[in-house]
Structure 1
């Protein structure tokens, strides 16, 4: 049976936000990371959340949602370190969906579509809204060795570029695939990207 694991990257430092953005409250009353985790859980078989040292409250609320939580001690070295740590923590998965904990508005249906593309044999899959590729990005187990050699804070962008011909784009009506939270005003979804507009 194929096992698609959602890896929730929740180890960022929130420098631009000025506080821990992942534990900020959204208009619906949920914490940012909790909503992102819940959406990822709804579309995958399980979720592994990667947090930074000292994130006890975040780890507690994510475990309460049903995620497994691991602490990446060298998260300061960039997003790639967290991604690698997550992949190495669940190496037997059929594929991984890389989700960002500061993107709480992705529709679970979109996440399911990306996961299903991996189940059906896609090497890489990603959603697209109005011609713009977004998150989460799914990777098959075949790319595990390359995923674990990434460096810096660019995540898997370089790997995606290397496999563009094998990238399966899933067109969706979900602007949430582009909406992340960098600043306090981002806690209210931008009028520019109204959900399902």
Structure 2
């Protein structure tokens, strides 16, 4: 009798989207009373919707799987924790898987690493109602187990305070990443000579992504190694919401 082997998990055919939504937004409101990602857009077809929801929905409209990472710091104030619960609900409504990074206070690099770890686990088969709290990003032995999962062909990294990026632009970045045929490929949109977001990162960077910590993300890699450009007329690739006046 031939031995029966368990089937290998399917390899994802598309990059996984990662939405970084764990920042404190101190430049938007130094007091911390208002979370900029929950601030609503004042004009346009998406007026009245939170910044992060619009960014998440546009990313999810471009990619079949999106993981959003929020702030899971156990020392959040009650007001900050309430903001994160509301943010989680909006991101879930947009179609994202939401994880809470307990290391978010360390900076973007730590949050990104936690989201990449989460992307190695199989996507939920059926969407369910959001839990009372967002699942924490894996740490310690759990993180090592997840890190042994099947990586996608890459990641498309977007920022939750950039709600104006068209889904078609994100699809172009993902398509260029796949077309490169190089696991070490880096892809970014360029608008009028300026590099923007989202960033496409090939699967060959997995170990380096998991090693990120603190506030340094992957942006420096594009300066050091060069990248594949996607020329675009989409000004949204440069437009972020750092201050209240940026909403106008």
TM-score normalised to structure 2 length: 0.72
Equivalents in 2 of 1:98, 1:36: separation in Å? 12
Give the equivalent residue in structure 1 for 2:51: 32
Q: CA deviation at 1:89?
A: 0.6
| Structure 1 alignment gaps of length 5 or more | 189-197
Q: CA deviation at 1:42?
A: 1.4
Larger Rg: 2
The question of whether the paired residues in 1 share the 8 Å contact of 2:113 and 2:213 is answered with no
Q: Which residue of 2 aligns with 1:137?
A: 199
Runs of 4+ displaced beyond 6 Å: none
TM-score w.r.t. length of structure 1: 0.90
1:104-143 matches, within 5 Å, as 104-120=163-179, 121=181, 123-143=185-205
Query: Contact conserved, 1:117 with 1:125, CA < 8 A, in 2?
Result: yes
Q: Secondary structure at the residue paired with 2:98? A: strand
Residue in 2 that maps onto 1:70: 99
Matched, 1:80 2:109: yes
How far apart are residue 43 of structure 1 and its match? 1.4
Is there any run of 5+ residues in structure 2 with no aligned partner, and where? 1-11, 73-80, 121-150
SS of 2:169's partner is helix
Query: Counterpart of 2:63?
Result: 44
Structure with more strand by fraction = 1
Structure 2 residue corresponding to 1:20, chosen from 8, 12, 35: 35
1:159-183 alpha-carbon deviations (Å, 9 max, x no partner): 223321xx11000001100010111
Q: Which of 146, 149, 161 pairs up with 1:102?
A: 161
